[in-house]
């Protein structure tokens, strides 16, 4: 049961990354309404989707329907996106679309959609994307550390490759594959790409669509273990209704940083008595059953009972939501800082700090003096957002696009860089060592 719950959670997080981040976490809008409220446009016949899904490229009707989808996609994205050609010229965009149309009669459905994914990514807007995944995955979880991509969790049958570095896939060097995968990622800086690449690697449809692997049945990986041993492993692919028996599910403490054990909650806090630290984790810019305003009031009421020398605001896993949710905290932290000028305030950022998570960083910086620690943010303080979406009329696949541009700095920055850059290594992950919190605790 634990393994199934963990796997279900992974699927939910994937959908959040591929759908919610794109649709409901629009940058900007400090209002009382959730960012990215969607205006959904749908057309076409549901039966057309069945024709597409049940046919291959030898079916002329299927080809006509897909070409109609591609042309619809071209017009809608061109007409409706705030500025679709800030990163690519219209001529380049049209040439890519025309090339795809001419190849529909030679490509599988999955290859067509992966190519469309690539065209959308070329827009260069991290909020603009396409919701496509065929349901298949590897029983592996990857993470991109500075020296490579490692396996950070695996099915129990693959325990010998846990913490191993990925060297090759289907005989192709991983560095080449990463560059291919990056062409599918909608990103504005390298940190968001580093966050998204492991998810694309976990789902074979993307490597199949790019021609890296020949099919979605099994894949040959080559790994380098921590002792230097090279391990070649044929990894079977899980179907939509199959679940991996992940190693970490047998030990909830394993590979989970202490300060994110409650990551199912949108927000929580803890007083670290030995270090005189009030630690506040803000994972999602949204209300839970207990509203953020109520939570915030309780947190600051309890502070009166504590001797606080440091206040930590952890936003490293905050990928957005409604940017107005944090407003009560801004008022409270400003008052606390004025009453306690000797107290140090830290913000932790990371590659998953995105959209309204980035706005939260900027808003807090405006209210109180802070030291930012961790990684650069995956989200940009100057980017497109305020999401709407349309649906491809025949395949029924949703496409998300930005209708506003938000500028929060004058220097055109594409990320918020920390004052103290700290990035974990594989050994930190293995040892469950939160190196960012370690720094904050020891900072004088």
CA angle in degrees (0–180, nearest 5) for 260-24-140: 45
Cα gap 226→163, rounded to integer Å: 7
**Sequence-distant (≥ 6) Cβ neighbours of residue 313 within 8 angstroms:** 280, 282, 333, 345, 346, 347, 348, 364, 370
Report pLDDT for 432. Answer: 85
Report pLDDT for 180. Answer: 97
Q: Of 142, 350, 354, 348, nearest to 255 (Cα)? A: 142
Contact (CB, 8 A) for 348 and 373: yes
Residue 2 in tokens: 């634990």
Which residues of the chain are modeled with pLDDT < 70? 1-44, 250-263
Contact (CB, 8 A) for 246 and 153: yes
Report pLDDT for 252. Answer: 56
The 10 Å Cβ neighbour count of residue 430 is 15
Place of tokens 């600051």: 300
Q: Of 329, 322, 328, 330, nearest to 385 (Cα)? A: 322
Q: Kindly list the distances between the CA atom of residue 400 and the CA atoms of 26, 73, 172, 389, in Å, as whole numbers in the listed order.
A: 11, 11, 32, 4
Beta bridge partners of 55: none
Cα gap 345→279, rounded to integer Å: 10
Q: Of 226, 216, 217, nearest to 165 (Cα)? A: 226
What residues does each domain of the chain span?
A: 258-383+407-442
Report pLDDT for 240. Answer: 85
Place of tokens 């580093």: 194
Question: For 258-383+407-442, which CATH superfamily applies?
Answer: 2-enoyl-CoA Hydratase; Chain A, domain 1 (3.90.226.10)
Cα gap 435→146, rounded to integer Å: 15
Place of tokens 């209300």: 287
Cα gap 22→186, rounded to integer Å: 10
Report pLDDT for 251. Answer: 61
Report pLDDT for 264. Answer: 75
Cα gap 156→223, rounded to integer Å: 17
Cα gap 438→442, rounded to integer Å: 6
Burial code (b: 16+ CB inside 10 Å, e: under 16) for 109-118 equals bbbbbbbbbb
Tell me the DSSP string of 163-207: TPEEEEETTEEHHHHHHHHHTT---SSHHHHHHHHHHHHHSHHHH
Place of tokens 């199934």: 4
Report pLDDT for 41. Answer: 45
Burial category of 58 from C-beta neighbours within 10 Å (exposed 0-12, middle 13-18, buried 19 and up)? exposed
Contact (CB, 8 A) for 281 and 315: no
The 10 Å Cβ neighbour count of residue 369 is 9
**Three-state secondary-structure class, residue 264:** coil
215-226 pLDDT tens trace: 988 999 999 999
Place of tokens 């069945």: 50
Contact (CB, 8 A) for 425 and 444: no
């Amino acid at each position: 049961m634990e393994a199934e719950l963990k796997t279900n959670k992974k699927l939910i997080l994937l959908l959040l990354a591929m759908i919610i981040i794109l649709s409901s976490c629009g940058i900007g809008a400090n209002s009382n309404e959730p960012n990215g409220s969607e205006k959904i446009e749908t057309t076409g016949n549901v039966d057309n989707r069945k024709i597409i899904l049940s046919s291959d490229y030898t079916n002329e009707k299927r080809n006509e329907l897909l070409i109609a989808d591609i042309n619809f996609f071209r017009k809608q994205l061109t007409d409706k996106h705030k500025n679709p050609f800030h990163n690519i010229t219209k001529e380049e965009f049209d040439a890519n679309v025309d090339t795809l149309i001419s190849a529909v009669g030679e490509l599988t459905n999955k290859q067509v959609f992966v190519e469309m994914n690539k065209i959308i990514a070329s827009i260069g807007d991290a909020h603009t994307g396409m919701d496509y995944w065929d349901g298949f995955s590897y029983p592996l979880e990857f993470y991109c550390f500075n020296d490579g991509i490692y396996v950070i969790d695996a099915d129990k049958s693959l325990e010998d490759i846990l913490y191993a570095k990925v060297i090759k896939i289907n005989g192709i060097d991983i560095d080449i594959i990463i560059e291919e995968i990056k062409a599918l990622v909608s990103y504005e800086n390298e940190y968001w790409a580093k966050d998204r690449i492991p998810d694309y690697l976990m789902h074979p449809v993307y490597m199949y669509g790019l021609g890296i692997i020949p099919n979605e049945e099994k894949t040959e990986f080559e790994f380098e273990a921590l002792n230097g041993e090279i391990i070649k492993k044929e990894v079977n692919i899980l179907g939509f209704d199959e679940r991996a028996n992940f190693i970490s599910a047998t030990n909830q403490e394993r590979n989970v940083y202490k300060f994110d054990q409650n990551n199912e909650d949108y927000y929580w806090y803890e007083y670290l008595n030995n270090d005189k630290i009030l630690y506040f984790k803000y994972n999602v810019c949204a209300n839970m059953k207990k509203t953020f305003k109520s939570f915030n009031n309780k947190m600051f009421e309890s502070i009166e009972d504590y001797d606080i020398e440091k206040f930590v605001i952890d936003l490293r896993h905050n990928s957005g939501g409604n940017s107005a949710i944090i407003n009560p905290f801004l008022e409270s932290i400003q008052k606390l800082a004025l009453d306690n000028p000797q107290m140090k305030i830290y913000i932790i950022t990371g590659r998953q700090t995105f959209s309204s998570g980035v706005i939260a960083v900027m808003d807090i910086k405006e209210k109180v003096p802070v030291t930012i620690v961790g990684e650069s943010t995956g989200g940009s303080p100057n980017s497109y957002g305020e999401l709407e979406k349309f649906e491809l009329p025949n395949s029924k696949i949703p496409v998300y696009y930005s209708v506003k541009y938000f500028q929060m700095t004058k220097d055109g920055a594409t990320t918020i860089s920390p004052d103290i850059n700290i990035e974990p290594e594989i050994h930190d992950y293995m040892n469950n060592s939160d190196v960012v919190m370690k720094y904050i605790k020891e900072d004088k």
